Amino acid sequence: MNLMKLTLMRLLTAAALLVSATAFAQNTGPAPASGSALPAAPSAASDPGPALGANATGVKIGAISIEQAIFGSNEGQRDLNALGTKFEPKSKELKGLSDEIEALKNQQKTQGDKLNDDAKANLQRQIDQKQKSLDRQAQEAREDFQNQQNEIGQRILQKLAPIIVKYASDNGYGMIIDTSGNNQWPQGPVLWHGPAVDITAPVVSTYNTQSGVPAPAAPANKPASGLGTKPSTGAGTTSRPAAPAANKPATTTPPK
C-alpha cells in the first residue's frame, strides 16, 4: 500500500488546490470601501462552541479509512469479486497439488519401513519436487493477485481523492487522517479515533452515487476453493478476497 499512499497524497494535494481555487473564486468579491467597518467577531454568547470532531484549537478533524473506502465501494466490491472468481481455478489447482503432497507424505509415513532405499529416495524426490513447484506457483499467484488488486485500488483512488477533499471542504474539516490498516497504533500514528469523526461511510455513499455502479448481489455459496477471505472492510457488505494461499501441508519435513 505504500505506492497507493504516495499516490493518495499527490491526488489529495491536487484536489485540495483545485477546491481552494474554486472556493476563492466564488467567495472573493469587491474589496470593502475605505472606512467601512469590518465584520465583528462572534461573541461568546453566540458562539456555539467547537464543532463535533474539533480539537482544543477549534480545528475540525475527520478520519477516513482509504482502504475501506476503496474496497467497500460498490465498484471496489464488484471488481474484487470478479478478481476472486478469476483466481478460483488457480486456487483449486494449488489445493490439488497440496493434496498430492500430503498423500505422498502419508504414504511415506505408513509404508516407509516397507520400502527399500531406492523407493524411499524416489518418494522423497517426488515430495521435494512437488513442494518446490507448489511454493513457486503459490508465490507467483500471490504476486499476480496483489498486482491486480493494487491496480483496482489505484484506479478507484484516482476518482475517490477529489470526493474526499470536497467533502472535507464542504463540511469544514481542517484535517483528515487515514486510519487504514497499519496506520493504527502501535504500527502507525493514529492512537484512537471515534465513529463521530469518521467520514468513510458518507464518502463511499457519494462515490457510489457518482460512479453509478449498483451494489453487487450477495454471492451464492460456493465450495471451498482455497481462496481465503479477509475480514469485511466495514464500508460495504462483501469481504475482500485474499491472495491465493499455498495450502502448504502442516508437516513440511517428512519423517525419515
Tell me, what's the pLDDT at 247? Answer: 54
Give the count of beta carbons closer than 10 Å to the beta carbon of residue 100.
15
Estimate to the nearest angstrom the gap between the alpha carbon of 229 and the chain centroid. 12
Tell me how far apart the alpha carbons of residues 77 and 67 are, in angstroms, rounded to a whole number.
12
Q: Residue 5 is placed in which grid cell?
A: 499512499
Contact between residue 243 and residue 141 where contact means Cβ atoms under 8 Å apart: yes
User: With a threshold of 0.75, does the pTM exceed it?
Assistant: no
Q: Reduced to 3 states, what is the DSSP secondary structure of residue 181?
A: helix
Tell me, what's the pLDDT at 34? Answer: 37
Tell me, what's the pLDDT at 31? Answer: 37
**Series of mean pLDDT values for 10-residue runs along the chain (256 residues):** 56 50 41 36 38 62 94 96 96 96 94 88 95 97 96 96 95 92 78 88 96 86 43 43 56 42
Tell me, what's the pLDDT at 68? Answer: 94
Q: Reduced to 3 states, what is the DSSP secondary structure of residue 115?
A: coil
Give the count of beta carbons closer than 10 Å to the beta carbon of residue 165.
22
